[in-house]
Amino acid sequence: MLSRSYRVKRLKILPKILTVKAFGNPMSDKRSLNKVIRTRYISLYFIIMLLILSSCSQKSPEISDKELWKQSTLSKERHKRNEYLIRILAKISNREYRSPRFQFNHYQSLAHAILNRLKYHKNKKTIQSWITHSSPALRHIAINKMAWSKDQSNGAALIKILNTDRVPNLRVDALTAISQLGLKTSSKSIVALLKKSKYIRLEKSLLGTLINTGATDSCDYLYTNIKVSARLTRREFIFLNAYVYLKCENAVKIMSAYLTKGTIDKSKPRRQEQLFQLAYLLKSPIITKELIKYFDKTKNIAALYALIESNEKSALVFAKQIFVSILQSPHYKDNKKSSLISELLRLDKKPLIELVLATVLNIKNENSRQEFIAEIASTVKASGIGSTLYRNVKHRQYIAERLLNAYLVQPVSIRKEIAKILYWFDGYTGKIRLKNIIANENKKKLKCYLLVAYVRIADKSDLNFVMKFNTDNYSLGCQGTAEELINKYKNKKIAN
C-alpha cells in the first residue's frame, strides 16, 4: 500500500501529466500550443463570427402594401406619396408580370392608376428614371407616357427596351411607342428581332411595322417562314399575311398553291375566311380563275365572297350567276343565303343591288322571300353613318323605289318588312307614290311605319293629310309623328 506522502505527490503531479498528454508541455513546447489554437479555436472563432454576421444581415420584414398605402394617404407632400406608391409597384417581379394570369391586387391597381395620371412634362425626370427600373409596372407607365409625350429624345431608351427587355409585352409597347413618336426603325433591325423572338404577339407587331413601312426587302426572310400546309399555325399565318400585304413576288404563287392543293378545305372555318381575304387582296386574274375553279369543286360561299370583293369583271359576272342559283337551290340553308344577301348589299354597287332586289322579289316561296327582305331591312338598319351604303343617297333611293313598286302586291308580312326599310331610310323623295300607298294600306301599324318616312319629306301642303293620324284611332307613336309636322308649322305661324 502506498504511503500518504507518495499519494499527495501523485495528486500534485497529475494535472501536469494531463496537460502534457493533451497539449504538450506549454512551458517547454510553445509551438505545439500555437498549433492547437490554430486548429481548434480559430475554426470556432470563424463560426461565431459568421453567426453574428448572418444575424446582422437579416432583412427587416417587408412592409405590406396596405401599410404603404396608408402612409401614402397620410403624407402631405406629393413626392413622398409617390415614393410609397413606387414601393408598392416595385415588389412586382418580371416573372410575375410576364405571366398571362397576372393581375394587380387592390393596392397595386390604385398605385398604378395614380402614378399613371402624372403629367409627363411636370414629372419628366422621374418618369424617365422609371424606364430602367426593375419593376415592369413602372416601366410600362414610363413607356406609355413617353409615347404620348411627342418627345423624340426618349427614342434611345425605347429602342433599348425593344431590344433587351425580359417582358415581351413591354417590348410590344415600346415598338408602338416608337411608331407613335415617328421614329424610323430599319427593316434589318426588325428582321433581326424577329429571328430572336419566340413570342407571337411581339412577332405580330414587328410584322405590322414591316407592312406599315412597306419593307419589301424583308420578303426573302418572310418566305422562309411560310409553309403550304393543311394545319397552318398561327405563326405561319401572320408571316403569310405580311407577305401578301407587302405584295412580294411569290404571293400569287403561294395563294394559288393553297387553292389548287385543297389545303384550305382542311383548315378551320375562321382560317378559311382569312385565307380567302388574302386571296382577294392580291386582285390577280390568276387568283380569280383559281377561286372560280375552287368554288365549282367545293361550293364554299366564303370563296364566293372573295370573288365578289376582288372587283374583277369576270369574278362579278360569275358571282351573279351563282347568286341566282344559290337562292333558288334547296341545298343551301336560309341563313347562308341571308348572309350572302347582306354581303352583296354592303358592297354598295348598283349592279349587285339590282341583282339582289330582282332575285329576292321574284322568289315564289313566301316564307323565304319574307326572310330575305327582312335581311335587307336589317342590313339597311346596320349600314349607319360612316358606311358607304348610308352615304350613297342614290342607291338608297333606288332600293326604296324598287320595294315600293312591289309593295301593294306583297302579303302583310312582307309589306311590314318593306315599311321597316322606309322607316330607317331618310333618303326617299317619292312623296306622291308614298302618299298613295299610305292611303291604300289597310293595316294601321304599317300606315304608321310609312308615315314616319312621309313626314320627313312633307311640307305645309300635307298638313291636312297628316292631321288624320292625330286621333285616338291610331297609336300614340303615330300621333306623335303627326304632331311633329303640325307643331313645326304652328311655331312658324306664331313667329310670323
Which pLDDT band holds residue 17 (cuts at 50, 70, 90)? very low
d(CA 325, CA 317): 13
Residue pair 141/109 in contact by the 8 Å Cβ criterion: no
Which pLDDT band holds residue 135 (cuts at 50, 70, 90)? very high
Statement: residue 52 has pLDDT above 60: yes
Burial (CB < 10 A; 0-12, 13-18, 19+), residue 473, is exposed
Statement: residue 12 has pLDDT above 80: no
Statement: residue 20 has pLDDT above 90: no
Q: Indicate the pTM of the whole model.
A: 0.60
471: left (phi over 0), alpha (psi -120 to 50) or beta: beta
Sequence-distant (6+) residues with CB within 8 A of 290 are 255, 256, 259, 260, 279
* pLDDT one-digit tens code per residue, 152-161: 888 888 888 8
d(CA 13, CA 197): 84
DSSP secondary structure, 214-264, as one string? T-GGGHHHHHHT----SS--HHHHHHHHHHHHTT-TTHHHHHHHHHHHTTT
Mean pLDDT over 66-76 rounds to 88
* pLDDT one-digit tens code per residue, 301-340: 777 777 777 767 777 777 777 877 887 777 777 777 887 8
Mean pLDDT over 264-276 rounds to 76
Which pLDDT band holds residue 9 (cuts at 50, 70, 90)? very low
* pLDDT one-digit tens code per residue, 359-389: 888 888 888 888 888 887 777 766 554 456 6
Query: Poorest-confidence range of 146-155, 186-195, 466-475?
Result: 466-475
Statement: residue 496 has pLDDT above 60: no
DSSP secondary structure, 111-141, as one string? HHHHHHTS-TTTSHHHHHHHTT-S-HHHHHH
Mean pLDDT over 196-207 rounds to 84
Which pLDDT band holds residue 475 (cuts at 50, 70, 90)? confident
Residue pair 325/299 in contact by the 8 Å Cβ criterion: no
* pLDDT one-digit tens code per residue, 115-129: 999 999 888 989 999
